[in-house]
Amino acid sequence: MPLNTYIIENASKDMNSSFLQKFADVEIYFSIMESNKPLNNGPVQASGDFQLRLQTANLNIGRMAIFYTTKTDSRLTQKFAGMPLKRALKMVDELSDIDGILIQSDQEAWFAIDKRAIKK
Longest dimension (CA), the chain: 42
Cβ neighbours of residue 29 closer than 8 Å, sequence gap 6 or more: 67, 68, 69, 70, 71, 73, 76, 80, 81, 82
Q: Contact, 101 vs 62, CB < 8 A?
A: no
Determine the pLDDT at residue 7: 93
Determine the pLDDT at residue 33: 86
Q: CA 61, CA 59: separation in Å to the nearest integer?
A: 5
Which residue type does 79 have?
K
Determine the pLDDT at residue 17: 78
Determine the pLDDT at residue 14: 73
Q: Contact, 4 vs 106, CB < 8 A?
A: yes
Q: Which residues of the chain have pLDDT under 50?
A: none
